[in-house]
Amino acid sequence: MKFFIDTANLIEIKEAQSLGILDGVTTNPSLMAKEGISGKKNIFNHYKSICDIVDGDVSAEVISTNFNGMIEEAEQLCKIDDKIVIKIPMILEGIKAIKYLTKKKIKTNCTLIFSCGQALLAAKAGATYVSPFIGRLDDVSTSGLKLIEEIREVFNNYSFQTQILAASVRHTMHIIECAKMGAEVMTAPLSAIKNLANHPLTDLGLAKFLDDHKKSNK
């Protein structure tokens, strides 16, 4: 399973990268705004800074909602770095853009996926990744994990190459359940990634080992 970090915060990206388990980054316009990054030049420079930190794919989202605008943005974003993956919203104009960019061998991440039908359409268009937002589905009392399971089944039935990128991940159980279902990628905040390491028995066990060592090495 590939681990992406879902942030535009350079400090957090550096920390995740330093753990040696980071495979990529996902951003979106809200995450860029949260970091106070605005204006095309600053946004592009920020993407470049992210690409300079990580080894893997970096999703950069278009803000146009029509085919021509999306393609124009995608072509500019691609020039920033080879690691850039074009994040396209799940709308019909987006599907056309994904098909076009796939033919040009440009990687895409179809975002804002909330149904299996949407994932199927994006896979048909050749998306590199589909991003089902599991936390936001849970927020409206619909199982996000069930959606991952459904998409996995459909993609397996037809051997689609499109990778399931579980997004809107909120906690460690989301990560573990997605791993069990075979989502190729998950993107999560740094806190959820770090929480995977936590277990009280590990803490207790380590404290005992260190204490015993101290006592016998006085």
| Residues carrying an active site annotation | 87
Minimum distance from residue 87 beta carbon to ligand E4P (Å): 7
Q: In terms of CB distance, is 4 or 155 closer to ligand E4P?
A: 4
With contacts defined by CB under 6 A, name the span among 10-18, 118-126, 132-140, 176-184 that binds ligand E4P. 132-140
In this chain, which of 3, 47, 114, 133 binds ligand E4P, going by CB under 6 A?
A: 133
167 sits near ligand E4P (criterion: CB under 6 A): yes
Least Å distance, CB 179 to ligand E4P, is: 16
**DSSP string of 72-116?**
HHHHHHHTT-TTEEEEEESSHHHHHHHHHHHHTT--EEEEEE-SH
User: Which one of residues 3, 8, 22, 28 is an interface residue with ligand E4P (CB under 6 A)?
Assistant: 28
CA-angle at 172, arms to 141 and 12, nearest 5°: 110
DSSP-derived secondary structure letter, 196: T
DSSP one-letter code for 162: P
Spell out a b/e string for 129-164, using b for 16 or more CB atoms within 10 Å of the CB, else e: bbbbbbbebbeeeeebbebbbbbbeebeeeebebbb
Residue nearer to ligand E4P on the CB measure, 118 or 131: 131
Q: At its nearest, how many Å lie between ligand E4P and the CB of residue 109?
A: 7
Site for ligand E4P, rule CB under 6 A: 6, 26, 28, 111, 131, 133, 135-136, 167-168, 187
